[in-house]
Chain A
Amino acid sequence: MTAVIPFDEYDDERHIIEADKVGGPVDAPDRKTTFADVVARTEQRPPIVPAVLRSPEGRQALARWSAGYFAYELGKHAWKSPKYAAKVAWYAPRGLWRAGSAVLWWAVGGRENFHLRQEAANKNDPHTWQSLNRTRAKESSARWWVVGVGLLLLLAALVGAELAGMPSVGWWAAVVGLVLVAARLGRPADKPIVDWATTGQRFTKLTAEMVRNAVVALSIGVKEPGQLTFPPPGIHKDGPGWLARFNLPGAIVATQLLEKRDNLAAALRLPVDQVWPEVGPDHPGQVDLWVGFQPSSKMGQPRWSLAAPTARTSVFEPQPFATDARQRPLSTVLLARNFLIGGQPGSGKSYAARTLLTIAMLDPTVELKVAEFKGVGDFLDVAPLCSTYAVGVDDDAFETGSDIITWALAECERRGKRILAAKQRGEAPEGKVTPELAAKRGSGLHPVFILLDEVHELFAAVPGAAAACERAIKRGRALGIIFCLATQIPDKDSLPPNITRCITTRWCLSVLGQVENDMILGTGAYKRGFSGTVYRPGIDAGWGVMVGVDKPGSARSFFPTPEVTAAIVARAGQLRGHAAVGEDVERVEARDMLADARTVLQNGEAGLPWAVLAERLAELAPEFYAGVTAEMVRESLARYGVDSQDVKVGRSNLKGARRTALEAAQQRREIESE
């Protein structure tokens, strides 16, 4: 008897056992390509016209190069022409003899069964020889006719030319041509008449075997040379070097290899600056290893497109300022960026800064303010185009330098209001300076490029300049004020870390050690393979590592000749009508914050919280204290020994400055000055 168990949906004891699927593929089945797939393809199609022919500069450069090259070749062969004449005189009779005997030999059919006839003669076999000779005679019987007709035609042509009145030049040309042809026929096959000298540096070809062995030797997890795969097109020439794109096996990422660039160069037996690995485009385990024909320090540099006589830039668009190891130009947008250039003396800082200045210079809407505290006048030629220019390490230069920063702060304040107004009018949709706004006359929103060379001198000489500069950098970024700082000592005393932190684009030229490198590029940069220590000062001037651009990596600033530099400055002057854009800064008296703090403290107040103090200071002297925050006031007054203490406001205690502390600080200062 079987008990029928009634079906109950909610029976807790019941559970369904699904059949396991055994066997069969787990992978999704391969799908045939449909037309929709084909239509949706977005692969890159390489441009048909070569890159050099697409731009007028490229075409001009190509034409110029070709003209120069052919002129050189012509001169070289003209110089060697006596040698060629001697060779021709030697070879031409031989050629004539060869040509004549070849025709004769062909006409008599000398080549027909020649060896058979000789064999018959060797064996003293007249029967065979005679029959072979008959064959030869039969086959070549018509050839004399051909030769005869040819000679007749030639004769007719010569007579015709003479009758038609060919000038003697023509006859000479014909003779020369004939002699040259004869010489060509008469020369031995391996001795060309014209010398072909090849002048080029030799370079051992980069092979897959070299790459594989080198990567295995790095011991980053690749065990067998065969584990590396090279996707098509394999190792090929790319610019002035070889590009090997390969996939690392398994889960090994390319950055592991990048960290060991020195070891890779050692394994390839090449200088470090000839080996340039980077992460490949397809996945993180792909490496693009570029190996130059020569070390990059020995390579020249392509022409700078900004050196063209018609150059005109825009700070809103990417403009070239440097080249990478593969000689490709690197571009950057100047606007809404700030730049920090660091490096030891002789690393090419000033010129690196100048490349950026050049971009700004060739945009006639940009106002330039340059202060250099090296004191040698690196930018003296640009001075007439700058609304403010300071040079030197004296008090006057430092005051101008700090005035620039103060002006920038005040300008930020003014610009904020202007942008707000523009946004309300609908002219600045993102609350940022647009190219239209910048170009509009009287908008007061034109871009400003502020270059401070050897800025550590300023920060050391003028207390508070660093903090003000930091404020200006932070606020000015969105308001069209571009800061470019160049320094050789990036430590925390001469260049506060806060400044470094708010500058995104950093360019580390030759530095001595890891510490300086990381101070400029950010902590861990050295370990990630971004290091300016590989460059030698002087020899590798202009070379550096750049972060904060599209592709972090090595960058070499353009370094045109002094004539080209002068031409660029002249072009900028022409664009700007040989006048500076914008107004010079007004000399703002440096204010004594301690005295001001005591001034704004009203009678009966025992102290003020920092925020209130900052507000009152800004009211007292807006041209100097614009944008000052509670934090900054606290830091500035801390230098005078004013502690942050509790100040009673209403019923709560807030941190601030007490009158007693301010008075004590004042007394201390008076005693010190006595």
Chain B
Amino acid sequence: MRGTLTATGILLVVLLGYAASCIVRPFRDCWLCDGKGHHRSKRKRKLSRPCGWCDRTGKRLRFGRRAWNKAREKYRAA
């Protein structure tokens, strides 16, 4: 019982923290290019390839924020 409560509490805190981060820092570093916006070339002195996943920005919306935005769009459209 006590364990369940603690687990629930921890889960709640984590969820709230994630929600807060979706508001104050909605973008995270692109996982593909590590936030650089381009892929590192194997050879030196060769231009690196831009990251297509994050469109060269190195930032991607968090999953939570992306879901929230989608939901909002749907709500507005309805």
Scan A107-135; emit 1 where CB is below 8 A from any B CB, else 0. 01010000001100110101101100000
In Å, the complex CA distance between A124 and B57 comes to 11
In Å, the complex CA distance between A207 and B16 comes to 58
Given A110-B24, A118-B23, A121-B26, verify A130-B69 contact (CB < 8 Å): no
Q: Find chain B residues with CB under 8 A from A121 CB.
A: 26-27, 61, 65, 69
Asked if B26 and A127 sit within 8 Å, CB to CB, the answer is: no
Distance from A277 Cβ to chain B, minimum over Cβ atoms (Å): 67
In Å, the complex CA distance between A110 and B61 comes to 19
Asked if B23 and A126 sit within 8 Å, CB to CB, the answer is: no
> Is B59 interfacial (CB 8 A cutoff)?
yes
Distance from B31 Cβ to chain A, minimum over Cβ atoms (Å): 14
In Å, the complex CA distance between A122 and B57 comes to 16
Max chain B Cβ within 10 angstroms of own Cβ: one of A117, A118, A121: A121
**B8-52 interface with A by 8 A CB criterion:** 23-24, 26-27
Asked if A129 and B24 sit within 8 Å, CB to CB, the answer is: no
Residue from the list B23, B61, B72 in contact with A124, Cβ < 8 A = B61
Query: Across the two chains, which residue of chain B brings its CB closest to A110?
Result: B24
**A127-145 interface with B by 8 A CB criterion:** 127, 129-130
Q: Find chain A residues with CB under 8 A from B59 CB.
A: 126, 129-130
Asked if B57 and A126 sit within 8 Å, CB to CB, the answer is: yes
Query: Across the two chains, which residue of chain B brings its CB closest to A105?
Result: B24
Asked if B24 and A124 sit within 8 Å, CB to CB, the answer is: no
Distance from B56 Cβ to chain A, minimum over Cβ atoms (Å): 10
Q: Find chain B residues with CB under 8 A from A110 CB.
A: 24
Distance from A571 Cβ to chain B, minimum over Cβ atoms (Å): 78
Asked if A122 and B23 sit within 8 Å, CB to CB, the answer is: no
Residue from the list B27, B66, B72 in contact with A126, Cβ < 8 A = B27
Asked if B27 and A122 sit within 8 Å, CB to CB, the answer is: no
- Inter-chain contact total with CB atoms closer than 8 Å: 29
Residue from the list A108, A117, A118, A127 in contact with B57, Cβ < 8 A = A127
Max chain A Cβ within 10 angstroms of own Cβ: one of B26, B60, B66, B69: B26
Q: Find chain B residues with CB under 8 A from A126 CB.
A: 27, 54, 57-61
In Å, the complex CA distance between A121 and B67 comes to 12
Distance from A116 Cβ to chain B, minimum over Cβ atoms (Å): 12
Distance from B57 Cβ to chain A, minimum over Cβ atoms (Å): 4
Q: Find chain B residues with CB under 8 A from A124 CB.
A: 61, 66, 69
Max chain A Cβ within 10 angstroms of own Cβ: one of B23, B27, B58, B65: B27
In Å, the complex CA distance between A118 and B59 comes to 15
Query: Across the two chains, which residue of chain B brings its CB closest to A124?
Result: B61
Distance from B40 Cβ to chain A, minimum over Cβ atoms (Å): 20
In Å, the complex CA distance between A180 and B54 comes to 52
In Å, the complex CA distance between A315 and B58 comes to 104
**B54-78 interface with A by 8 A CB criterion:** 54, 57-61, 65-66, 69, 72
Q: Find chain A residues with CB under 8 A from B72 CB.
A: 122
In Å, the complex CA distance between A110 and B24 comes to 8
Distance from B73 Cβ to chain A, minimum over Cβ atoms (Å): 9
Distance from A128 Cβ to chain B, minimum over Cβ atoms (Å): 10
Query: Across the two chains, which residue of chain A brings its CB closest to B69?
Result: A122
Q: Find chain A residues with CB under 8 A from B24 CB.
A: 108, 110
Asked if A129 and B27 sit within 8 Å, CB to CB, the answer is: yes
Max chain B Cβ within 10 angstroms of own Cβ: one of A117, A122, A126: A126
Q: Find chain A residues with CB under 8 A from B66 CB.
A: 124
In Å, the complex CA distance between A121 and B27 comes to 8
In Å, the complex CA distance between A122 and B69 comes to 6
In Å, the complex CA distance between A110 and B20 comes to 12
Distance from B51 Cβ to chain A, minimum over Cβ atoms (Å): 12
In Å, the complex CA distance between A124 and B63 comes to 12
Query: Across the two chains, which residue of chain B brings its CB closest to A121?
Result: B26
In Å, the complex CA distance between A130 and B56 comes to 13
Q: Find chain A residues with CB under 8 A from B27 CB.
A: 121, 126, 129-130
Distance from B69 Cβ to chain A, minimum over Cβ atoms (Å): 6
Query: Across the two chains, which residue of chain A brings its CB closest to B62?
Result: A121
Max chain B Cβ within 10 angstroms of own Cβ: one of A117, A122, A124, A130: A124
Residue from the list B23, B26, B58 in contact with A129, Cβ < 8 A = B26
Query: Across the two chains, which residue of chain A brings its CB closest to B60?
Result: A126
In Å, the complex CA distance between A9 and B59 comes to 123
Query: Across the two chains, which residue of chain A brings its CB closest to B57?
Result: A126
Q: Find chain A residues with CB under 8 A from B61 CB.
A: 121, 124, 126
Q: Find chain B residues with CB under 8 A from A127 CB.
A: 57
Distance from B2 Cβ to chain A, minimum over Cβ atoms (Å): 24
In Å, the complex CA distance between A156 and B69 comes to 48
Distance from B6 Cβ to chain A, minimum over Cβ atoms (Å): 22
Q: Find chain A residues with CB under 8 A from B26 CB.
A: 117-118, 121, 129
In Å, the complex CA distance between A126 and B29 comes to 10
Closest 7 CB pairs of A and B: A126-B59, A121-B26, A126-B57, A126-B27, A124-B61, A122-B69, A129-B27
Please list 17 pairs of residues, one from A and one from B, whose beta carbons are closer than 8 Å in the complex, sorted by A's number: A117-B26, A118-B26, A121-B27, A121-B61, A124-B61, A126-B54, A126-B57, A126-B58, A126-B60, A126-B61, A127-B57, A129-B26, A129-B27, A129-B59, A130-B27, A130-B57, A130-B59
Interface residues of B (CB under 8 A from A): 23-24, 26-27, 54, 57-61, 65-66, 69, 72
Identify 5 new A-B residue pairs, CB closer than 8 A, beyond the known A110-B24, A121-B69, A129-B59: A108-B24, A117-B26, A121-B61, A122-B72, A127-B57
